[in-house]
Amino acid sequence: MSYSVAVAGASGYAGGEILRILADHPDFEIRTVTAGSNAGTPLIDHQPHLRSLAHLTLQETDATTLAGHDVVFLALPHGASGAISSQLGDDVLVVDCGADHRLTSEADWNAFYAGDYAGAWTYGVPELPTTDGKQRDALAGATRIAAPGCNASSVSLAIAPGVAAGLIDDRDIVAVLAVGPSGAGKSLKTTYLASELLGNAVPYGVGGTHRHIPEILQNLRAAGAPNPAISFTPMLVPMARGILATVSAPLKPGVSVDEVRAAWNDAYAGERFVQVLPAGKFPRTSDVLGANTALIGVAVDAAANRVVSIVAVDNLVKGTAGAAIQCANIALGLPEHTGLSVNGVAP
Amino acid sequence: MSYSVAVAGASGYAGGEILRILADHPDFEIRTVTAGSNAGTPLIDHQPHLRSLAHLTLQETDATTLAGHDVVFLALPHGASGAISSQLGDDVLVVDCGADHRLTSEADWNAFYAGDYAGAWTYGVPELPTTDGKQRDALAGATRIAAPGCNASSVSLAIAPGVAAGLIDDRDIVAVLAVGPSGAGKSLKTTYLASELLGNAVPYGVGGTHRHIPEILQNLRAAGAPNPAISFTPMLVPMARGILATVSAPLKPGVSVDEVRAAWNDAYAGERFVQVLPAGKFPRTSDVLGANTALIGVAVDAAANRVVSIVAVDNLVKGTAGAAIQCANIALGLPEHTGLSVNGVAP
Amino acid sequence: MSYSVAVAGASGYAGGEILRILADHPDFEIRTVTAGSNAGTPLIDHQPHLRSLAHLTLQETDATTLAGHDVVFLALPHGASGAISSQLGDDVLVVDCGADHRLTSEADWNAFYAGDYAGAWTYGVPELPTTDGKQRDALAGATRIAAPGCNASSVSLAIAPGVAAGLIDDRDIVAVLAVGPSGAGKSLKTTYLASELLGNAVPYGVGGTHRHIPEILQNLRAAGAPNPAISFTPMLVPMARGILATVSAPLKPGVSVDEVRAAWNDAYAGERFVQVLPAGKFPRTSDVLGANTALIGVAVDAAANRVVSIVAVDNLVKGTAGAAIQCANIALGLPEHTGLSVNGVAP
Amino acid sequence: MSYSVAVAGASGYAGGEILRILADHPDFEIRTVTAGSNAGTPLIDHQPHLRSLAHLTLQETDATTLAGHDVVFLALPHGASGAISSQLGDDVLVVDCGADHRLTSEADWNAFYAGDYAGAWTYGVPELPTTDGKQRDALAGATRIAAPGCNASSVSLAIAPGVAAGLIDDRDIVAVLAVGPSGAGKSLKTTYLASELLGNAVPYGVGGTHRHIPEILQNLRAAGAPNPAISFTPMLVPMARGILATVSAPLKPGVSVDEVRAAWNDAYAGERFVQVLPAGKFPRTSDVLGANTALIGVAVDAAANRVVSIVAVDNLVKGTAGAAIQCANIALGLPEHTGLSVNGVAP
């Protein structure tokens, strides 16, 4: 069976990546692409790499245009998805790639975002452990899905095994991330200019101010941490895509290296898209470019009494578009990996 | 007065950077440049950017060639400096840019390095606080100087104010560094190929194995930490030069933001080459490219109960060559900043 | 039907890219991967992005190992393919990605290469016009194929329409190429270090010395140029993959812009993998990253009396591995585009 | 003597680079910095690498503010310099870094620029040969100077020796340039985003449309070409700074390699800032990063009958700010090289 699909926000990076993956997805048919100010122009003008979709023209992003599809992917600025999705039938699967519907706590929303809280949708990094299974368990049959964010997915995947197995002190997690600028979309700010970022490393959102912190903590609570805390520091580095997150936490007294390795391996045993590397190996972002794969390397630093877990993801794939499509596959009962590549494009 | 200078290891990156700075230094006269396998070839073949030194030819790196100069800078592979310097008179100022003579603990050396311990020389990141002053105090008049390493300088400068002021738990420091590949010199390994590093972030030395850890801990002990511990994780990113180190530590109970800011500001008050940015500002590596400057931004994350200190340095200048020349200036009684620029080259 | 495949030189960039494409090719089954000094080690150690092939171990590159497959792809150093292929049966399709068998003129070989001339195999950039059709015509049923080189493919595709239509002076072609370093493989030379190439543009092979010139001229002669000449200058730029070739030639008297556009459009009408952009549009290498697509933009500069044709290719796909697989598809009678993507991965 | 200086447009890249150089210039005292929308904010907010100028605040760019200085450097958007400079006394040296006053032909201006022609000021790439000397000859004592543009300087320097010596066919010059995005300033357009340019090569201004063509042709006419023509194609590549221009032209019949080398060497004999490399050597942009140096490598391609001249400059130094200061030095009778470095910052 083939599902008809509309992608809103198709002229941006997230929308473009959804389309790149959908173009080779055997069960989805791209029927409609929409945009804001770019409506009325050919898709290929904004996504010149999507040669197989050169016949598509961007339409207006509104409920009328988006109605009548089996699946609608929203890659819109924050705050735009609620009004649109409320006008789409409950039989339509709506997958939102923004942050509007990820947080279950209105207090968290108010602490980090402007604008009214729009309520939580079904959320899921499928492979993330919960106290009674995996996050994917909630996704089957859902019709409103808040796809996870790239920073939260990467950090949560890196450290959740230690939380779930009760091996770490979840009150003192530290995460430092090297991230590519595509996560900011096509935002026209000086800080995102090539002249500014080439040859540069640029921290931002320092000191507990970054909006993705509550999503991480929500994931860690779901994995069993009663009251987690994290120091979270991202920095832009000169790679178009990718997140390399170094996440560490104190080990509880007496935890052995073997216990750590077993916890990480067990957490993701059998997972195609989250792989724990052998001892002594650590991932690079180039290993997962274009892939829906999260690679994790984990080490124990005995002198510092910390477990160090490093994860690499492509922020636009496993971090955004691939995650959204993986969630849609699950919701619709398709094989979860349909249309999603485990292999990266390197060098 | 003009001091005659020889630079050993002049065909490498560290040697080249020493020469670039010395070329405009009013009190040093570059008289001799030496190399290993490149001896006999023109310097300009290896350092095509040093146009004003195009007349120099690389000579053999041996004590005979290096003797007879007032100052000798050694930018050699680890293990090579001891034999050479022992043949140079005590009246010659020898500044070693390698790690051979930095560690005062033979046990530390044996834990992280191969080869025999060569003994410690006078060491100093001039601006680093100690329990009774600054590290620069030891440098005046020294004739054998172990110039500090780039990773240790950056991490130590970032967090030492919290140690010196007794504000942090020095048993749980976490440092994650984005570093440029020039720190590895011209080493011909696959991991340093442009094809491998372009568009990539690559962790290495994960889990407490990196050789620069004992040098950091030695600095922190000098600043007053009785038994410091650090989780230290570097990653290569695609910038030729630069280190951006994100260093955090738990705050002791009751420490205020004002106390933190005061500690950092006081630690470096009056320092030309180590500057603490105003609240809310954080440094980028491009701000210090080519400069002998370390820029520090510090924040308090109340929710995570951590102070986060971010430092940017040029690994080849403040991290290596500039530090070596700054130490030499101090040792010889010259104004400390002679020949060293505080301004970066950007964008 | 599924063809069994061996890939020799599987630990290098070209070999890795062949495997990346083959991993999703419906008609090829990767059975054997071989290497030189890396034989005996897991493939995944050298190609950590090829997660779906993590079960493969590199074997020795020799005729015994390679025998017994339907198709053998050779991604070997120059000079190595002849001895091996001579021991493989005529029923085996051998596709060589090296330069050993591309040139039909022994004199050309001797002028640009060392070592004995190994004779020409069937060669083909499928879409390139010839005086009586396309280069693909020779490939059907071939069992020894010399896959085209990346520089020759890109330059030839850019300018051949003007040659075939008789619109240009083929004695004064000028090509300047920005190329990524992956074309040089994992060669351990200083010039390919990240420290050297980051933030840099580096010319090489200047002044008519580059080995790929005779392959270009051979293509242009096949397209109808009696005695072509080209000034060819490549430069390395800091992108892991990609070639952007700017190729220009004088227009013959009286040639109109419309004639130029018609010649280029007609030459590639109906081609999936070679696309001429609308007037005023020009390609970027990121548009074709990971794709088997060559994008061409063409303009007429009336004041300079030159046609300027700019082509973008991914040197590892349309330039090497994709081209080899496209040739194999043709030789075996499969749909030419099987397993090959027209869409790039961007940004 | 010390000249008081104002820099207008001080928050941009060109203005910042002027300030970086002036900060160490012994004869200039930076007294005033101005900006447009950034007026009223600290300079250091926009130029965080200029630590020694952290005390300066940006003032309004108007004649009142700029009056009363000995020297005024204008780094303004096109079209803004005329009105301002007309209100400054003739005793003030005004150096304009924009294109407003470079072209001596109103017809050229109208063909490539919008807005009214503002008239030509004294122009000069000091080292460029003219039919009766060098362009520097016009600069002594000038009070209104149009500093040369980066593209025109680099291309003109590369090929002018062949023009001046009468060795080339100046009707068929071809130039292809790899350029860094800083030449476009802090312009907020999608094409200049880091996400767009990282890993990419992007042509622009293709087909004889680029505004810098008439400035090049004006230089070549000054060097003796009666009616030159050039095919000029720039492309953005992922380096913040730098231009690598590959410029070629047909050799007149019978011209020998020795004549070519002699012409290039003679043209720049004794020049500090324009250096011709030995035969077989070619420059890289990293060799001149931060330097006021143009490096040239020249080769003869006998088969293509073309001389190929490759030049590397830092677009912000020798291409803009260094050129402007070099011109000011000449105009004021200072030693031409005062405050300008011949050495680059590499790697």
Determine contact, residues C215/C102, Cβ cutoff 8 Å: yes
C238: cis peptide before it, omega within 30°? no
Q: Positive or negative CA dihedral for B35, B37, B41, B42?
A: negative
CA distance D146 to B59: 46
> D198 and A239: CB-CB below 8 Å?
yes
Tokens linked to A247: 């996440």
pTM above 0.90, yes or no: yes
CA distance D103 to D109: 7
Interface list for C 305-334 with D (CB within 8 A): 305-306, 308, 310, 312
Contact with chain C for residue B37, Cβ under 8 A:
no
Q: DSSP label at D221? A: H
H or E element in which residue C264 lies = helix C257-267
Residue A347 with chain B: CB contacts under 8 Å = 195-196, 198
Determine contact, residues A297/B207, Cβ cutoff 8 Å: no
Catalytic residues of A: 150
Catalytic residues of B: 150
pLDDT-derived band at D82 (thresholds 50, 70, 90) equals: confident
> C200 and D284: CB-CB below 8 Å?
yes
Q: What is the pLDDT of residue A319?
A: 98
> B238 and C194: CB-CB below 8 Å?
yes
For residue C138, report the phi and psi dihedrals to the nearest 5 degrees. -80, -15
Cα→Cα distances A286→A27, A183, A186, B201, D195, Å: 28, 16, 22, 7, 15
**D1 pLDDT more than 70:** no
Cα→Cα distances A76→A11, A82, A185, A319, Å: 10, 11, 10, 16
Give D140-159 as a DSSP string: TT-SEEEPPPHHHHHHHHHH
**C87 Cβ neighbours under 8 A, 6+ residues apart:** C63, C67
Q: What percent of chain D has pLDDT over 70?
A: 100
Q: What is the pLDDT of residue D311?
A: 98
CA distance C67 to A245: 45
Interface list for D 193-212 with B (CB within 8 A): 198-199
CA distance A328 to A7: 13
Question: What are residue D294's DSSP bridge partners?
Answer: D274
Question: What are residue B251's DSSP bridge partners?
Answer: B168
Q: Closest partner residue to D207 among C244, C308, C312, by Cβ? A: C308
At residue C271, the 3 state secondary structure works out as coil
* Beta-carbon contacts below 8 Å between C and D: 171
Q: Positive or negative CA dihedral for C327, C328, C329, C330?
A: positive
Contact with chain D for residue B346, Cβ under 8 A:
yes
Catalytic residues of D: 150
Q: Closest partner residue to C304 among D231, D297, D300, by Cβ? A: D231
* First-to-last C-alpha distance (Å) of chain A: 36
Residue with tokens 């568009």: B199
Q: Could you tell me if the ipTM is greater than 0.95?
A: yes
Contact with chain C for residue A184, Cβ under 8 A:
no
A77: cis peptide before it, omega within 30°? no
CA distance D33 to D42: 10
Tokens linked to C282: 């020009």
Question: What are residue B309's DSSP bridge partners?
Answer: B247, B298
Determine contact, residues A347/C13, Cβ cutoff 8 Å: yes
Q: Closest partner residue to C197 among B13, B184, B194, by Cβ? A: B194
Question: What are residue B32's DSSP bridge partners?
Answer: B6
Q: Which of B259, B291, B255 is nearest to B273 (CA)?
A: B291
CA distance B30 to B20: 10
Tokens linked to C278: 């609308």
Q: Closest partner residue to C302 among D199, D208, D244, by Cβ? A: D208
Q: CA-nearest residue of chain A to C340?
A: A24
Q: What is the pLDDT along chain B (347 residues), one digit of tens a residue?
A: 699 999 999 999 999 999 999 999 999 999 999 999 999 999 999 999 999 999 999 999 999 999 999 999 999 998 888 889 999 999 999 999 999 999 999 999 999 998 899 999 999 999 999 999 999 999 999 999 999 999 999 999 999 999 999 999 999 999 999 999 999 999 999 999 999 999 999 999 999 999 999 999 999 999 999 999 999 999 999 999 999 999 999 999 999 999 999 999 999 999 999 999 999 999 999 999 999 999 999 999 999 999 999 999 999 999 999 999 999 999 999 999 999 999 999 99
Question: What are residue C96's DSSP bridge partners?
Answer: C74, C146
Q: Between helices D322-332 and D13-22, what is the axis angle to 10°?
A: 50
Determine contact, residues C210/C232, Cβ cutoff 8 Å: yes
Residue with tokens 């391609």: D301
The whole-angstrom distance between residue D219's C-alpha and the CA centroid of its chain comes to 12
Alpha-helical regions (H) of chain B = 13-22, 43-46, 63-66, 81-85, 106-112, 150-164, 194-197, 213-222, 257-267, 322-332
Distance from CA of D283 to the nearest CA of A (A): 20
Residue B195 with chain C: CB contacts under 8 Å = 13, 180-182, 184, 186, 192, 240
Mean pLDDT for the stretch of residues D4-11:
98
> B47 and D16: CB-CB below 8 Å?
no
Residue with tokens 């150089």: D21
Tokens linked to B126: 């001039």
Residue C243 identity (one-letter amino acid): I
For residue A141, report the phi and psi dihedrals to the nearest 5 degrees. 80, -5
Cα→Cα distances B157→B125, B126, B163, B216, Å: 8, 10, 10, 10
pLDDT, tens digit, 9 for 90 and up, residues D195-219: 999 999 999 999 999 999 999 999 9
> C284 and A343: CB-CB below 8 Å?
no
> C237 and D239: CB-CB below 8 Å?
yes
Cβ count near B258 (within 10 Å): 9
User: What ranges make up the beta strands (E) of chain B?
Assistant: 3-8, 28-35, 59-60, 71-74, 93-96, 122-123, 129-130, 133-134, 144-146, 173-179, 202-203, 230-236, 243-250, 274-276, 294-301, 306-313
Q: CA-nearest residue of chain A to D180?
A: A195
For residue D113, report the phi and psi dihedrals to the nearest 5 degrees. -125, 155
Residue B9: left (phi > 0), alpha (psi -120 to 50), or beta?
left
For chain A, list the domains and their CATH numbers.
3-120 (3.40.50.720), 151-313 (3.30.360.10)
> A201 and B178: CB-CB below 8 Å?
yes
Tokens linked to D334: 């200072």
Contact with chain C for residue B269, Cβ under 8 A:
no
Contact with chain A for residue B14, Cβ under 8 A:
no
Determine contact, residues D64/D291, Cβ cutoff 8 Å: no
Tell me the CB-side half-sphere exposure of residue D167, using CA atoms within 13 A: 25
CA distance A76 to A168: 37
Q: CA-nearest residue of chain B to A174?
A: B174
Q: Closest partner residue to D178 among C201, C284, C297, by Cβ? A: C201
Cα→Cα distances B256→A171, B112, B194, B300, B307, Å: 20, 37, 45, 9, 10
At residue B318, the 3 state secondary structure works out as helix
Q: What is the pLDDT of residue B1?
A: 67
Burial class of residue A320 (count of CB atoms within 10 Å of its CB; 0-12, 13-18, 19+): buried
Residue B83 identity (one-letter amino acid): A
CA distance A311 to A307: 13
Contact with chain D for residue A182, Cβ under 8 A:
yes
Contact with chain C for residue D257, Cβ under 8 A:
no
Q: What is the pLDDT of residue C321?
A: 98
Q: Which of C126, C108, C82 is nearest to C336 (CA)?
A: C126
Q: What is the pLDDT of residue D102?
A: 97
At residue B141, the 3 state secondary structure works out as coil
Contact with chain A for residue D182, Cβ under 8 A:
yes
Q: What is the pLDDT of residue B79?
A: 87
Residue D198 with chain B: CB contacts under 8 Å = 199
CA distance D255 to A212: 67
CA distance C53 to C343: 23
Q: Closest partner residue to B240 among C198, C236, C240, by Cβ? A: C198
> D48 and B283: CB-CB below 8 Å?
yes
> D206 and C305: CB-CB below 8 Å?
no
Tokens linked to D301: 């391609």
CA distance A93 to D60: 55
At residue C114, the 3 state secondary structure works out as coil
Contact with chain A for residue B282, Cβ under 8 A:
yes
Q: DSSP label at A176? A: E
> C346 and A48: CB-CB below 8 Å?
yes
Residue B240 with chain D: CB contacts under 8 Å = 286, 346-347
Q: What is the pLDDT along chain A (347 residues), one digit of tens a residue?
A: 699 999 999 999 999 999 999 999 999 999 999 999 999 999 999 999 999 999 999 999 999 999 999 999 999 998 888 889 999 999 999 999 999 999 999 999 999 998 899 999 999 999 999 999 999 999 999 999 999 999 999 999 999 999 999 999 999 999 999 999 999 999 999 999 999 999 999 999 999 999 999 999 999 999 999 999 999 999 999 999 999 999 999 999 999 999 999 999 999 999 999 999 999 999 999 999 999 999 999 999 999 999 999 999 999 999 999 999 999 999 999 999 999 999 999 99
User: What ranges make up the beta strands (E) of A99-212?
Assistant: 122-123, 129-130, 133-134, 144-146, 173-179, 202-203
CA distance D321 to B159: 38
Residue with tokens 């368990």: A137
Residues of chain C with pLDDT under 70: 1
